[in-house]
Amino acid sequence: MKKISLILIGLILTINFPGNACTTAVISGKYTPDGRPLLWKHRDTPRVLTKIVQFNDGKYSYTGILNSEDLGNKLVWMGFNSEGFAIMNSASYNMDSLDIASLTGKDMEKAMLVATLMKKALQTCANIDDFEDLLQSLERPAPLGANFGVIDAYGGAAFFETSMNKYEKIDANDPKIAPYGYVLRTNHSMTGKMGMGSGYIRFETADPILKMATKENILTPKTILREASHSLYHSLTKVDLNDYSGIEENTETFVHFEDFIPRKLSSSSAVVQGVRQGEDPAYSTMWTVLGWPLTTVCVPVWMNPKVELPSLLLYDENIKDSPMCHLGMEVKKECFPYEWGTSSKKYMNVNALLNANNTGILQKLEPFEDDIFKKAEALLESWRKTKINSSEMKDFYEWLDREIPAFYNKNFNIQ
C-alpha cells in the first residue's frame, strides 16, 4: 500500500473538514458597473498560512492561491488562467459525499479530488463548458461535496453544486435564478438537504451587502472586499462590532467572535475580476488579500509571463510562509491576545481594530489600501485603452514590495 505523508493527510483532511467555512459568490458581468464578471472567495480554514504560485505545467498558464505548507504545490484553492477562466470552491456540508475522516490508503488519495480538480480545470479549461465537460468525465461516485464557482472570458458565470453522483449548474446570468445578478454560497447547497450543512448566518450577512451594492451599481472588487470581507455585522444576533469604535484606544474590549464573515480561521479573501467578451483575457485581475482579511491589504495580480509576481506573495523558505500573509498574521495577534483555554479562540479584542482615536488596525489599513486600489485601477484603465505595459506592471509590483513592508513596520512595528 502506498504510504501517504502526514503533511499530505493533513492537507486532505482540510478539504471537507467542518473548520473550513468559506463565503463565496459568482457575479454576472451584466450587473457590475463595468460589465465584467466577478468571482469572490473568502476562505476559512485551519491551514491559515497562504501563498500565491504561478504555474506553467498545463495547456494554459495559471495563478492560484495555495496553502504555504503545500510544498509540492498540488492543491489549488482559487485561481485564474491565461484564457480568462477562473475557479474557486466552498465546501458543502448538506450534499452527499464521502466521509473523509474514515478514508484510508488509496481511498484517502481520492479525497484530494476537490482541490486537484480545480488545478486540472485551470490547466485545461478555457471556459465554463470545458469545466462542465470535466465534471461529466469524472468516475462516479466521486468524493465531492462542494460548490464550484466559475467565470470565463465569454460572459459565463455559474456555480456547480456537486455531490458524489451528480451536479447542478446554477447560472448567475439567468434572472429567474439570480434576479440581482449574483449567486451566493457559503457551506451549503440549495440543491442539498435544506437546514443541514452550515454557513446560513454568514449567507444572511453577505446577501444584503451584495444586493445593496447591485442596487447602487457599486458591485466591484473593492466593495466586496471592503464591505463583505471586512464586515463586523452578525445577521442572527444583530450585533455590529462597529458600535465599539467609540471606546478609547488601548482599552481591551473582548467580544464573542463567531459566525461573522471574517472568522479567526479566515486565511484569505480574493476577487477575480474577469473581462468583457472580446477583451484580452490578460486584463483579468485577481484582487488578493493573502492572510487574515482584517489585518492584510489587498494586492492585485495579473497573468503576465514577462513579469514576476510581487515577492511578498511568494513562498519564503525562511518564514515558511509568504511575507504578505506573515505580516497580516503578526498583526492579527493584537486582536487575539487572550490564549487561556480552548475557548479563547472565540474572543476577539475589537478595540485593536477600531477605537475612538482612529488608531485601530482597520482605521490605519484601509486608507493605505485605498492608495493601492487607486494606483492599480489607474493602470488597468490605461492598459485597457492600449495594451498592458509590462514595465509599468513591474514598477507597480516593486512599489508594492517596497511600500507594504514599510507600512507594516511604521504602523505596527513588524518587520
Domain segments of the chain: what residues? 6-219+234-412
Q: Which residues lie below 8 Å from residue 155, measured CB to CB, with a gap of 6+?
A: 28, 29, 37, 173, 277
Q: What is the pLDDT of residue 143?
A: 82
Cα 25 to its chain centre, rounded Å, is: 10
C-alpha torsion sign, points 138, 146, 174, 176? positive
Closest of 286, 172, 292 to residue 229, by C-alpha? 292
Q: What is the pLDDT of residue 138?
A: 93
pTM higher than 0.75: yes
Q: What is the pLDDT of residue 104?
A: 53
Q: What is the pLDDT of residue 111?
A: 55
Q: What is the pLDDT of residue 185?
A: 97
Q: What is the pLDDT of residue 314?
A: 98
CA angle 267, 273, 276 (to 5 degrees): 165
Q: Which CATH number fits domain 6-219+234-412: 3.90.1150.30, 3.60.60.10, 3.30.465.10, 1.25.40.420?
A: 3.60.60.10
Strand order in the sheet with 182-185: 182-185, 23-27, 38-44, 266-273, 285-290, 299-302
Cell of 57: 505545467
Q: Which residues lie below 8 Å from residue 113, measured CB to CB, with a gap of 6+?
A: 138, 142, 143, 144
According to DSSP, residue 226 is labeled: I
For the chain, residues with pLDDT lower than 70 are 1-19, 97-111
Cell of 31: 450587473
